[in-house]
């Protein structure tokens, strides 16, 4: 009986495990093994073993440093902005009034739309003033008699234009997660705080904030990983330009593989990226533990 249960269980679990092994874990291993060989995109076989030469080439390439810096700036800007905005909207729309429900729907809508469609859309919205067609934002600026902006065509503004678009796109999902957490807080706690004479700020500081802290942490972690994977927005809106100012790590990996046709280099970049993502996730975990111990 027990043997038969084991065999049945194995048959139930095996297909899913085999697919995950083949399409998730094997590629992870392959990232590291491929990164120490010379391999061209169309080579039928791996070239010679080259040790850490791909890594050396990677760290000598200023474009990689640039893309890592861009991705870091993007992440450091998007995560706090988006989390703060999501929290504000969650607090604001945590009410049955129909105007708040309208706001909730409107903020949530972009998160379910495709990033590709929205990137194409915002590329047109950001279009600089020109004869061939001015974008909506510059049209509005001109309508208000304000100076028009180059947005995506300026190396100084492009990454920030993408940050704003990404915050607009992503805040809704986190707002929903925060809302779910807010609705779990029992009303009696606010009642008790009010009886103790706590004002609105004190209620927020001593009832709301502690109750949603675990959710906030979860939200920050997920958003960080999402921000690190930045690719679609700059790839469609700017192709990484102007002057490499919006090139992301994922686009660097993609171009190393399919434009420079150097799979060894692409996998070395992938390996560095993988380790960085894991380290950041672990660091955030540790930070949480330190904060929890303090309290």
Partner 1 sequence: MNRSRGISSELVSLLALAVAVAFAIPVLWMFAASLKPEQAIHEDLGSPRSFVTFSPTSEHYIAAIRRGDVSTTLVNTFVAVALIALGGLCVNAPAAYAFARMRFPGRELIFLLLVMTIIIPLEVIVIPLFLTVRPTRSLTAVLDERVWTLGALSIPFMAKAFNIFLLRQQFLSLPRSLEEAAFLDGAGWWRTFWHVALPNVRPAIVTVLLLDFVVHWNDFLWPLVVCQRADTRTVQLGLANFFTQPPILWGAVMAYGVLATIPMLVALVLGQRWIVRSLLTTGLKQ
User: 162, 234 in Cβ contact below 8 A?
Assistant: yes
The CA-based dihedral angle spanning residues 45, 49, 55, 61, taken in that order and rounded to the nearest 10 degrees? -60
CA 80 to chain centre: 12
In the complex with partner 1, the residue whose CB is nearer, 143 or 197, is: 143
Q: What's the min distance (Å) between Cβ of 294 and partner 1?
A: 26
Q: Min. distance of Cβ 288 from partner 1 in angstroms?
A: 15
Q: Which residue has the tokens 């809704």?
A: 172
What is the closest distance, in whole angstroms, from the C-beta atom of residue 122 to partner 1 in the complex? 7
Distance CA 189, CA 171 (A): 28
Q: Which is nearer to partner 1, 146 or 291 (CB)?
A: 146
Contacts of 185 (CB under 8 A, 6+ apart): 207, 208, 211, 212
Least Cβ distance, residue 295 to partner 1 (angstroms): 26
Please identify, using beta-carbon distances, which residue of 40 and 192 lies nearer to partner 1.
40
Minimum CB separation of residue 80 from partner 1 in Å reads 19
**Residue 173 CB burial class (10 angstroms; 0-12, 13-18, ≥19):** buried
**For residues 6 and 56, which CB has a smaller minimum distance to partner 1 in the complex?**
6
- Output 18 or 192, the one with its CB closest to partner 1: 18
């Amino acid at each position: 009986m027990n043997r038969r249960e084991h065999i049945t269980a194995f048959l139930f679990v095996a297909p899913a495990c085999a697919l995950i092994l083949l399409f998730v874990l094997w590629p992870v291993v392959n990232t590291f093994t491929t990164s120490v060989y010379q391999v061209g995109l169309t080579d039928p076989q791996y070239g010679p073993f080259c040790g850490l030469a791909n890594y050396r080439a990677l760290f000598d390439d200023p474009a990689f440093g640039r893309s890592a810096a861009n991705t870091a700036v993007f992440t450091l800007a998007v995560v706090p902005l988006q989390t703060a905005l999501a929290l504000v909207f969650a607090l604001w729309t945590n009410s049955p009034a129909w105007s708040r429900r309208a706001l909730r729907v409107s903020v949530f809508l972009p998160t379910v739309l495709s990033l590709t469609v929205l990137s194409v859309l915002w590329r047109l919205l950001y279009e600089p003033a020109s004869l061939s067609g001015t974008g909506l934002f510059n049209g509005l600026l001109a309508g208000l008699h304000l100076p028009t902006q180059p947005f995506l065509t300026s190396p100084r503004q492009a990454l920030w234009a993408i940050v704003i678009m990404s915050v607009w796109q992503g805040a809704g999902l986190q707002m929903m997660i925060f809302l779910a957490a807010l609705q779990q807080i029992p009303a009696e706690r606010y009642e008790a705080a009010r009886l103790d004479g706590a004002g609105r700020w004190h209620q927020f500081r001593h009832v709301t904030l502690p109750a949603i802290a675990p959710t906030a942490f979860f939200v920050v972690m997920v958003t960080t990983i999402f921000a690190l994977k930045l690719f679609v927005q700059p790839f469609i809106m700017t192709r990484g330009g102007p002057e490499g100012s919006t090139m992301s790590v994922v686009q660097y990996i993609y171009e190393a593989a399919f434009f420079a046709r150097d799979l060894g280099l692409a996998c070395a970049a992938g390996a560095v990226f993988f380790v960085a993502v894991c380290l950041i996730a672990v660091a955030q975990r540790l930070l949480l533990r330190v904060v929890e111990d303090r309290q």
